[in-house]
Amino acid sequence: MTTPNSLTPKADFVSLKVAAEDKNNPAVSKVTSFAVDPRVLEVEEGFNARPLNADHVAEMSLALRNGATFPALDVRVDAGRILIVDGHHRHAAALDAIAKGFDIKSLDVRHFRGNDADRVAHMISSAGGLALTPLQLGVQYRKLIGFGWTETQIANRGGKSVQHVKDMILLGEANSDVHQLVNAGKISGTAALKAVKQHGSKAGAVIQEGLEQAQTEGKEKVTPKALARAGRARRPDDKFLAAWLIANAHLDGIPFPGETHRIYTMTFRVPKEIAHSDDLRTLLTDAANYNTN
């Protein structure tokens, strides 16, 4: 049983096209799309935030050859060229299907209207493609900052928190050695972000050290355990150790009547995860690094 409401058209209609053309019917409207030969669509160099995933393209190509349909691509027109704004994997899948002998004469496309910043924002928020990785998001958020957007505007456009935007930008601004390790699949973007927050410009060296430790254990990626060990292994200077000891230790005086000297004891807590050491500097270094990480 269906229940009519105030938006239900007053007159009978036989198709959505007829309903959309009825100016008295606010409930149905028409979105214009165009049929374009996929071979004339162009990929704009350096625009797509998602590098093509060959496995994803192959899966979509197979689906197309089995009769699947996909949402319309978003494109823009510039000096007679039709450039893809969103839908790069769908386009690549169509070309792959054509190369395999499947006859695809056209793809549905929509004309995207907006400036360069709008195109980046649309690509980030699009639900039609693969999800962007944290690093890919950070790089694109930095583009929007360059276009004059604020972190709050970016967050509101994507339905994210401002802190999320700040974190992704921090990862996007990390040194190139961090980006290379993330892109090579040696560490996740989330773990890399944590390392950047903890170690700043030294994050790449810490990650590389953690990777080497993980590889000695037969792992191909940096594990949280190896990364933590690598971070703690970095030796702070004496000034840092003294400041940490003053801030974290408890001092007790032991009276000795008649003696010319006083005896003091200093107590500090060492997390149980830290290995025992008879070397005071090693013990302080591990404890200080553990607590500041």
Q: What is the CATH number of the domain that holds 107?
A: 3.90.1530.10
| Residues 94 and 79 occupy one common structural domain | yes
**Look-up of token digits 């093509």:** 52
Q: Is residue 23 part of a domain?
A: no
| Residues 46 and 64 occupy one common structural domain | yes
Under a CB-based contact definition with an 8 Å cutoff, are residues 151 and 165 in contact? Answer: yes
Residues 6+ apart with CB under 8 A from 232: 274, 285, 286, 289, 290, 293
Q: Pick from 131, 158, 191: which residue ends a domain?
A: 131
The structural domain count of the chain equals 3
**For the CA atoms of 138, 144, 148, 152, what is the dihedral angle to 10 degrees?**
-70
Give me the domain span that covers residue 184: 178-233
Q: Is residue 64 part of a domain?
A: yes
| Residues 39 and 88 occupy one common structural domain | yes
| Residues 79 and 127 occupy one common structural domain | yes
| Residues 125 and 53 occupy one common structural domain | yes
In this prediction, the residues of the chain whose per-residue pLDDT falls under 70 are 1-17, 20, 127-130, 231-236, 258-259, 273, 275, 289-293
| Residues 202 and 115 occupy one common structural domain | no
Q: Pick from 131, 160, 188: which residue ends a domain?
A: 131
| Residues 203 and 285 occupy one common structural domain | no
The whole-angstrom separation of Cα 136 and Cα 124 is 9
User: Can you give the pLDDT at residue 121?
Assistant: 87
| Residues 242 and 227 occupy one common structural domain | no
Q: Is residue 286 part of a domain?
A: yes
| Residues 122 and 39 occupy one common structural domain | yes
Residue (of 273, 235, 265, 229) closest to 249 by Cα position: 265
Q: Is residue 73 part of a domain?
A: yes
Q: Is residue 115 part of a domain?
A: yes
Q: Pick from 131, 154, 170: which residue ends a domain?
A: 131
Beta strands in 153-293 (DSSP E): 250-254, 263-267
Q: Is residue 10 part of a domain?
A: no
| Residues 123 and 62 occupy one common structural domain | yes
Q: Is residue 13 part of a domain?
A: no
| Residues 127 and 38 occupy one common structural domain | yes
User: Can you give the pLDDT at residue 269?
Assistant: 80
The whole-angstrom separation of Cα 211 and Cα 222 is 5
Q: Is residue 287 part of a domain?
A: yes
Q: What is the pTM of this model?
A: 0.62
| Residues 68 and 115 occupy one common structural domain | yes
